[in-house]
């Protein structure tokens, strides 16, 4: 197993091109189960998670070919309705095959994806949504088992304790496109990745309105056909690279970004004192003056993204003043705090809050990644720290950041892999 070693203190400069969005491509790949026709998906990042989804699709009867960021999905043998535990258990997003299997075959048996280090993430909203379409759903031996003689459009509210659910919205939308009649999803997730899935489904022949808003309307159709689609840029990777520029006092041009997907992050960075210059589909990011602390509350989109909380905490750890972080999506998503403390960060955890007192510098140390975004947080901390930082369990990082080691090296970072 490899670890990532970073020798900090280098001001990163240059250009970096952002890959396609992981959180968009996974449900879009799952949506190819809705047709026997060929589907071509472009700008697909080469990640552990995308490769896991390839394996799941193949296990369900699809033929998947990947070449230079382009995925072609065609039908081989008949589609299998059972998504096995051995594959689904390795990736939370695997649950998104539930909707298309049910929509296409009127039956599905998908393993529960299990727990998650960032906090409890139940599937109750998924079940609530597909039940509203007329499906019988129950949990049996660790599997979600769903079936219906016929799916019918329904009216449902998918708001949960901590807001809307992206994957539940995805699943219901994919099941509903082949249901008879009209489906209305209230408190639907508004994330760009949900809208991207809807755009792909529309290209396949689905009739969807309101995607990107809290109310999505779907008129069911009898069948869908193949389509070609290009994945939107990954806003979390873009945000991480923006913070890499600021935490190293650098000057980076972040290319292939969508400005409107980064509104909350840009607002907080400008409030802190960053200079962010928009040019075409790029953002130039550098310090305008000495940065200052900010208050961050994670919220459903278009609020501050929970997937950027850990990385932002790294930055605020070396910014003078006090910063307050509050988690409204996953209140327990603070696994990275202990590791940042090992590097000298002054952070106090109080329930769903974390109080950060900025230090002049962090010190390199051996640390361990607990999840995907925590690993990115530790990379940022390592880039800013004095001395060497070694990050174990970097397979987490490989789940969501394509070629991050090479991209950082091209910006001047001293970063390399070593065997544990």
Distances (CA, A) of 136 to 68, 87, 160, 304: 41, 24, 21, 36
Structure tokens at 214: 């809290």
CA torsion, points 290, 294, 298, 302, in degrees to nearest 10? -70
Which conformational region is residue 272 in: left (phi greater than 0), alpha (psi within -120 to 50 degrees), or beta? alpha
Taking alpha carbons only, the member of 382, 385, 362 closest to residue 374 is 382
Question: How far is the C-alpha of 72 from the C-alpha of 40, rounded, in Å?
Answer: 5
Q: Please give the CATH superfamily to which domain 22-220 belongs.
A: Enolpyruvate transferase domain (3.65.10.10)
Cα–Cα distance for residue pair 115/260, rounded to 1 Å: 32
Residue ranges of the chain assigned to CATH 3.65.10.10: 2-19+234-419, 22-220
Give CA–CA dist 120/299, Å, rounded.
16
DSSP lists the bridge partners of residue 40 as 72, 228
H helices of 221-298, where?
Answer: 235-247, 263-272
pLDDT tens digits in sequence order for the chain, 420 residues long: 899 999 999 999 999 999 999 999 999 999 999 999 999 999 999 999 999 999 999 999 999 999 999 999 999 878 999 998 888 888 888 999 999 999 999 999 999 885 445 455 579 999 999 999 999 999 999 899 999 999 999 999 999 988 899 999 999 999 999 999 999 999 999 999 999 999 999 999 999 999 999 999 999 999 999 999 999 999 999 999 999 999 999 999 999 999 999 999 999 999 999 999 999 999 999 999 899 999 999 999 999 999 999 999 999 999 999 999 999 998 888 999 999 999 999 999 999 999 999 999 999 999 999 999 999 999 999 999 999 999 999 999 999 999 999 999 999 999 999 998
Sign of CA dihedral 368, 299, 46, 259: negative
Q: What is the CA radius of gyration of the chain?
A: 21
| Cβ 208 vs Cβ 188: under 8 Å | no
Are 136 and 107 in contact, with CB atoms under 8 Å apart? no
Nearest to 260 by CA among 281, 246, 274: 281
CA dist 286 to 40, 241, 367, Å?
37, 11, 27
Cis peptide before 302 (omega within 30 of 0): yes
Which string of b and e fits 258-274 if b means at least 16 CB within 10 Å?
eeebbebbbebbeebeb
CATH of 2-19+234-419, one of 3.65.10.10, 3.30.110.40, 3.40.1360.10, 2.120.10.30: 3.65.10.10
Cα angle at 376 between 69 and 57, to 5 degrees?
Answer: 40
b/e burial code for range 319-330 (CB count within 10 A of at least 16 → b): beeebebbbebb
Cα–Cα distance, 31 to 225 (Å, whole number): 11
Q: In what order do the strands lie in the sheet with 107-111?
A: 82-83, 107-111, 143-147, 136-140
- The tokens of 243 are what? 């913070």
Active site residues: 116
Pairing mode, if any, of strands 39-42 and 282-287? unpaired
């Amino acid at each position: 197993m490899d670890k990532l070693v970073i020798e900090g203190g280098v001001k990163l400069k240059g250009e970096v091109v952002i890959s396609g969005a992981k959180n968009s491509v996974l449900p879009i790949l799952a949506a190819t189960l809705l047709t026997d026709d060929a589907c071509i998906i472009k700008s697909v990042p080469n990640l552990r998670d995308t490769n896991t989804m390839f394996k799941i699709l193949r296990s369900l009867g699809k033929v998947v070919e990947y070449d230079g960021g382009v995925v072609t999905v065609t039908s081989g043998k008949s589609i299998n309705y059972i998504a096995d535990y051995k594959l689904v258990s390795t990736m939370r997003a695997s649950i998104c095959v539930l909707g298309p299997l049910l929509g296409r075959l009127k039956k599905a048996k998908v393993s529960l994806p299990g727990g998650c280090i960032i906090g409890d993430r139940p599937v109750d909203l998924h079940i609530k949504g597909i039940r509203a379409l007329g499906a019988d759903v129950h949990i049996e031996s660790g599997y979600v088992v769903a079936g219906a003689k016929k799916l019918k459009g329904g009216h449902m509210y998918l708001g949960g304790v901590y807001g809307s659910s992206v994957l539940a919205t995805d699943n219901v939308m994919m099941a509903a496109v082949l249901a008879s009649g009209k489906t209305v999803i209230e408190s639907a997730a508004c994330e760009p990745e949900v809208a991207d899935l809807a755009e792909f489904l529309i290209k396949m022949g689905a009739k969807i309105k309101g995607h990107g808003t809290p109310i999505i309307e779907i008129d069911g159709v009898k069948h869908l056909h193949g389509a070609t689609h290009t994945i939107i840029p990954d806003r979390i990777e873009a945000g991480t690279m923006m913070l890499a520029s600021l935490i190293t006092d650098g000057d980076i041009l972040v290319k292939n970004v969508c400005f409107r997907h980064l509104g909350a992050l840009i607002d907080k960075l400008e409030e802190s004192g960053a200079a962010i210059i928009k040019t075409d589909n790029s953002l130039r990011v550098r310090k305008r003056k000495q940065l200052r602390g900010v208050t961050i509350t994670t919220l459903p989109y278009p609020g501050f993204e929970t997937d950027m909380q850990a990385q932002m905490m790294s930055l605020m750890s070396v910014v003078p003043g006090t910063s307050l972080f509050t988690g409204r999506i996953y209140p327990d998503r603070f696994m990275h705090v202990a590791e940042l403390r090992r590097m000298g960060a002054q952070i106090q955890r109080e329930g769903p809050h974390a109080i950060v007192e900025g230090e002049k510098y962090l010190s390199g140390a051996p640390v361990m990644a607990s999840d995907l975004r925590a690993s990115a947080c530790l990379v940022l901390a390592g880039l800013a720290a004095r001395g060497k930082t070694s990050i174990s369990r970097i397979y987490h990082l490989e789940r969501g950041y394509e070629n991050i080691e090479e991209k950082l090296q091209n910006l001047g970072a001293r970063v390399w892999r070593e065997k544990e």
